[in-house]
Amino acid sequence: MRFFQYFGKQAIKTANAACKLLLFLGCFTCVIMARTGYAEEESVEYKIKAGYLYNFTKFITWQENASATFNLCLLGDDPFGSLIDPIEQRTASDRPIKLIRMAKSFSKDPHCHILFIGASVSLPKPIPPNVLTVSEQQDFALKGGVIGFINKDGRIKLQINLEAVKQSGLKISAKLLEVAEIIAETKQ
């Protein structure tokens, strides 16, 4: 009580303002740290998915074609950003890998060996043969895509639609099939 008598009402207002500022800064710091943690977690998720896309080139066989490059196409929203760019320093089937980003429409030229379909785009129909379709969309493999990424218990897993594989003309290694969940396409 003596404090308040000594310093007066102005001191109380200043102390309240300082407490509010400290509370705001503390909450703001928590929000920033939580967002940073989420961004790091998301970054790790897309690094894993980019790694899968590259490793598919080792466990899937494409029919021969005249393309000078191995084309990995990203259709629609690109969740990878610059995380996937280093893939262009690698090769697949003795050809340099080329990233091709497509806005909203699928173009058959250039030939896409792997077509990653973003969340905002539907599976294009018909898909030309010899194209591996991959997406993180919910139930993608059930809807006719070849490989769907799913998040199960905080881990990235694969779903493979064998009927879509057969229609694509691709050959998938038994090793890749062993680590994936095999699903049957639902007729729509």
Give pLDDT, residue 103.
81
Assign 3-class secondary structure to 70-104: EEEEEECCCCCHHHHHHHHHCEECCEEEEEEEECC
Helix residue ranges, H only, the chain: 2-59, 162-168, 174-178
Give pLDDT, residue 101.
94
pLDDT tens track, the chain, 188 positions? 554 455 555 555 554 544 443 334 343 333 334 333 444 567 899 999 999 999 999 999 999 888 899 999 999 999 999 999 999 999 998 999 999 999 877 776 678 999 999 998 988 888 889 999 999 999 999 999 999 999 999 899 999 999 999 999 999 999 999 999 999 766 55
Helix (H, G, I), strand (E, B) or coil at 152: strand
Residues with Cβ within 8 Å of 27's Cβ and at least 6 positions away in sequence, in order, are none
CA atoms within 13 A on the CB side of 146: 28
Residues with Cβ within 8 Å of 156's Cβ and at least 6 positions away in sequence, in order, are 45, 48, 49, 52, 149, 150
Please answer whether residues 80 and 74 qualify as being in contact, where contact means their C-beta atoms are separated by less than 8 angstroms.
Answer: yes
Give pLDDT, residue 133.
96
Strand order in the sheet with 147-152: 91-92, 95-102, 70-75, 114-117, 132-135, 147-152, 155-161, 181-183
Catalogue all structural domains in the chain, each as residue range(s) with its CATH number.
48-183 (3.40.50)
Return the sign of the alpha-carbon dihedral for residues 86, 89, 93, 98.
positive
Give pLDDT, residue 62.
95
Give pLDDT, residue 8.
58
Give pLDDT, residue 32.
37
Give pLDDT, residue 21.
38
Give pLDDT, residue 64.
86
For strands 171-172 and 181-183, give the pairing.
Answer: unpaired
